C-alpha cells in the first residue's frame, strides 16, 4: 500500500501571516499521525517563510512516525539537518522568489555539490531522497550520488490534470521514470500538486512507495478538519 507523507508547512504559513503562536504545525502533525498518516514532511527554507527552527526541533522530538525534512543544499541548512537528525532529508531546489518549488533538483548539473551533501547527511545516519523531474538522466545522476531514494516531481502531471488536458502522457512519463528508477534499485516516491482529484492515478503506479502531499490536505482541513482531510486522502490512495 502506498504511504502518505503529510506536509504541514502551510499550517505554519497561516501562523507566520500574523507572527503569532497559532495554528501550531506540531499539533497538526500529531493529529495527522493520529489519523494514520505514515510520515510528516516539513521544509525548512533559508528565508524561514513558514517552518521555523524551533518547529523542526519539536517535530523531531514529538513525531512518532517518520520526519522528512525538505531542504536545500545551503551549508547552513545542511548543518541544521545534521544537528537535528530527521529520519529523512529530501534535497530540493530553492529559489527565494518562488511561491512553491518550481521543478526538480538538477542533480546532473550540480553533481559534486549534491553528492557531497548526500555523503554528509548519510554519514549523520539520515536517509536521503532527491526531488527530481521524471527524467532518466537525473535518475542516473541520483544513483551516482549515493542517495537511496528519489521523489518524482508530479507538477506537470498535476498541471495537465487540473487544467482539463489529457494527463495520460504525463502520467506515462511518471510511470516509466518510476520503473527506470526501481530498476536502479532506488525507492520511488512522488509529490507536488497532488490533490483529491488527481491523486489516484499516481497512487496506482506500480512500485510507488510514498506520496507527499501538503497544500491540498491543509486546504481541505479548513472545511472538514485535519483528521478528516487526512482520512479522505488516504481513502483515495487506497
What are the per-10-residue average pLDDT scores of the chain (238 residues)? 97 96 97 97 96 98 98 97 98 71 86 97 98 97 98 96 92 98 98 97 97 98 98 96
The H-assigned helical ranges of 124-154 are 136-145
- C-alpha dihedral sign at 77, 50, 66, 148: negative
- φ/ψ (deg, to 5) at 189: -120, 180
Of 160, 192, 194, 153, give the one whose Cα is nearest residue 174: 153
What is the residue whose three cell numbers read 532518466?
A: 136
pLDDT at 94: 78
Q: What is the pLDDT of residue 11?
A: 98
The grid coordinates listed for 96 are 527565494
Omega of the bond leading into 171 within 30 degrees of 0 (cis) = no
Residues labelled catalytic: 43, 70, 192
Residue 164: the pLDDT is: 85
- Looking at residue 141, its pLDDT comes to 98
Kindly list the structural domains of the chain, giving each domain's residue range(s) and its CATH number in brackets, ordered by start.
Answer: 3-237 (3.20.20.70)
Rounded Cα–Cα distance for residues 233 and 222 (Å): 14
Q: 93: which DSSP letter?
A: -
What pLDDT is recorded for position 56? 98
Q: Which three cell numbers, joined as nine digits, stand for 86?
A: 530527521
Phi and psi angles of residue 126, each rounded to the nearest 5 degrees, phi first: -110, 125
Amino acid at each position: 500500500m502506498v504511504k502518505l507523507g503529510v506536509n504541514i508547512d502551510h499550517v505554519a504559513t497561516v501562523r507566520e501571516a500574523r507572527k503569532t503562536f497559532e495554528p501550531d504545525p506540531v499539533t497538526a502533525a500529531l493529529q495527522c499521525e493520529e489519523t494514520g498518516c505514515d510520515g510528516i514532511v516539513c521544509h525548512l527554507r533559508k528565508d524561514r517563510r513558514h517552518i521555523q527552527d524551533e518547529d523542526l526541533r519539536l517535530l523531531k522530538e514529538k513525531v512518532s512516525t517518520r520526519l522528512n525534512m525538505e531542504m536545500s543544499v545551503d551549508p547552513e541548512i545542511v548543518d541544521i539537518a545534521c544537528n537535528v537528525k530527521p529520519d529523512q532529508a529530501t534535497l530540493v531546489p530553492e529559489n527565494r522568489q518562488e511561491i512553491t518549488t518550481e521543478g526538480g533538483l538538477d542533480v546532473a548539473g550540480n553533481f559534486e555539490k549534491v553528492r557531497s551533501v548526500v555523503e554528509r547527511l548519510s554519514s549523520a545516519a539520515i536517509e536521503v531522497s532527491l526531488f527530481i523531474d521524471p527524467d532518466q538522466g537525473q535518475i542516473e545522476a541520483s544513483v551516482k550520488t549515493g542517495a537511496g531514494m528519489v521523489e518524482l516531481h508530479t507538477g506537470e502531471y498535476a498541471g495537465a490534470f487540473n487544467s482539463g488536458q489529457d494527463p495520460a502522457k504525463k502520467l506515462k512519463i511518471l510511470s516509466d521514470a518510476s520503473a527506470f528508477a526501481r530498476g536502479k534499485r532506488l525507492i520511488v516516491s512522488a509529490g507536488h500538486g497532488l490533490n483529491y482529484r488527481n491523486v489516484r492515478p499516481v497512487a496506482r503506479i506500480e512500485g510507488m512507495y510514498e506520496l507527499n502531499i501538503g497544500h491540498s490536505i491543509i486546504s481541505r482541513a479548513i472545511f472538514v478538519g485535519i483528521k478528516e482531510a487526512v482520512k479522505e486522502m488516504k481513502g483515495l490512495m487506497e
